[in-house]
Amino acid sequence: MPVVPTLTLNNGVAIPQLGFGVFQVPLGETQRVVEDALEAGYRHIDTAAAYGNEAAVGAAIAACGIPRDDLFITTKLRNGEQAIAAEAFEASRRALGLDVIDLYLIHWPVPSAGLFVDVWRVLEKIYAADGVRAIGVSNFLQEHLDTLLAETTIVPAVDQIEIHPTFQQAALSAKARTLGIAIEAYSPLGQGADLNAAAVTALARKRGVSPAQVVIGWHLGIGDIVIPKSTHLDRMTENLAAAAITLDRDELAAITALESGARIGTDPAKASHSQM
């Protein structure tokens, strides 16, 4: 099994840099898929209340027999529950069957609701009460990070945002890193679309690896935490093996050159309270 590097978050907590995401994994398949991912060697699983599959993730965790301390589990606060964040956190903890969540994120800033600063203060309390080992945000743009940093105490450990070769958010990533906020890439393969880019397939041929391994190797090389998903065990194994690939500077640059502003998900400035 490949050794996955760990990054140290700004509060000293270690996170496996390559994890497994379960966004869009069908509910009926989630327990099997997470059990397969754990069997393949993943130890970092990323879910969210809004995905509706926390209980299935929890069932896989309970069934796997892996010591709790060897696992790193992330979940996220649903937009529609920002006004009841403390209760929502408890519900997530129950659904996952865990006393302590490793990383809890505000899923979207929902600026139109004007709640994210208050929500962050609730997460700070949950952190102080040891309900969670690290707290962070997702889909926060620079202006949202600036507001949080100006008005609250704890600097988010991570900002989980859409990043893949054709949509990199490089300025936001660079700014977050200067603030001590680690960047986590979601939809890291561009939901599969970026695997067909000519620069990716050419580099895959040259290195004798798969296009997904090139793209995951690129994320690891630029310092992202990355959470690819697949419902297929062979692809889970293939993706995890990318931990052993080190792209050189020119190879990284060839993939970075694919930036084309191809956002797949919702613009965080516009994501609504009812969504997710």
Binding flag, residue 231, ligand A2P (CB under 6 A): yes
Binding flag, residue 195, ligand A2P (CB under 6 A): yes
Catalytic residue, chosen from 42, 51, 104, 186, is 51
Residue pair 142/174 in contact (Cβ under 8 Å)? The answer is no
Stretch that binds ligand A2P, among 101-109, 168-176, 229-237, 267-275 (CB under 6 A): 229-237
Please say which residue, 182 or 216, places its beta carbon nearer to ligand A2P. 216
Q: d(Cα 92, Cα 216) in Å, to the nearest integer?
A: 29
- Does residue 104 carry a catalytic annotation? no
Which of 142, 191, 201, 256 touches ligand A2P (CB under 6 A)? 191
Name residue 116's amino acid: F
Residue pair 144/175 in contact (Cβ under 8 Å)? The answer is no
Q: Closest Cα partner for 194 from 169, 213, 209, 174? A: 213
- DSSP designation for 4: P
User: How many residues belong to the site for ligand A2P (CB under 6 A)?
Assistant: 18
Please say which residue, 7 or 193, places its beta carbon nearer to ligand A2P. 193
Supply the DSSP string of 65-125, one letter for each residue. ---GGG-EEEEEE-GGGGGGHHHHHHHHHHHHT-SSEEEEEES---GGGT-HHHHHHHHHH
In the complex, what is the shortest distance from the CB of residue 236 to ligand A2P, in angstroms, rounded to a whole number?
8
Residue pair 250/234 in contact (Cβ under 8 Å)? The answer is no
Binding flag, residue 188, ligand A2P (CB under 6 A): yes
Which of 58, 80, 109, 228 touches ligand A2P (CB under 6 A)? 228
Binding flag, residue 169, ligand A2P (CB under 6 A): no
Site residues, ligand A2P (CB under 6 A): 21, 187-192, 195, 210, 212, 228-232, 235, 238-239
Q: Please give the positions annotated as active site.
A: 51
